[in-house]
Amino acid sequence: MEYKITTRDESQTLELAQNIASERFPNMIICLSGDLGSGKTVFTKGLAISLGIDEIITSPTFNIIKEYNAVEMPLFHMDVYRLNGDITTLGLEEYFNKDGIVAIEWADTITSYLPKERLEIKIKVIDEDTRVFVIKPYGKQYEDLCEAVL
Ligand SMILES: Nc1ncnc2c1ncn2[C@@H]1O[C@H](COP(=O)(O)OP(=O)(O)O)[C@@H](O)[C@H]1O
Ligand SMILES: [Mg+2]
Q: Which of 10, 12, 122, 133 to mutate to test the pocket of ligand 1 (most atoms within 8 A of CB)?
A: 10
Q: Treating both helix axes as pointing N-terminal to C-terminal, what angle do 140-149 and 10-21 enclose, rounded to 10 degrees? A: 130
User: Model confidence over 106-118: pLDDT tens digits?
Assistant: 999 999 999 999 9
Q: Looking at the predicted structure, is the pLDDT value of residue 85 above 80?
A: no
pTM of the model: 0.98
First to last CA, the chain: 12
What's the pLDDT at 149?
97
Q: 122: Cβ below 6 Å to ligand 1? A: no
Report whether 105 contacts 32 (CB < 8 A): yes
**Ligand 2 ion local residues (Cβ < 5 A):** 40-41, 59, 105
- 60 vs 133 pLDDT, higher one: 133
Q: Which ligand is nearest to the CA of 35?
A: 1
Model confidence over 37-47: pLDDT tens digits?
Answer: 999 999 999 99
Least confident of 6-10, 21-25, 54-58, 133-137: 54-58
pLDDT at 89: 83
Architecture in CATH of 3-149: 3-Layer(aba) Sandwich (3.40)
Asked if residue 10 has pLDDT above 90, the reply is yes
Which atom of ligand 1 is least distant from the CA of 34?
22
Closest ligand relative to 10 C-alpha: 1
Q: What is the pLDDT of residues 62-77, one digit of tens each?
A: 889 999 998 999 999 9
Q: Provide φ and ψ at 124, rounded to 5°.
A: -110, 135
User: Atom 25 of ligand 1 has which residue's CA nearest to it?
Assistant: 37
**Residue 18 CA to chain centroid, in angstroms?**
11
Q: Ligand 1 centroid to 9 CA: how many Å?
A: 8
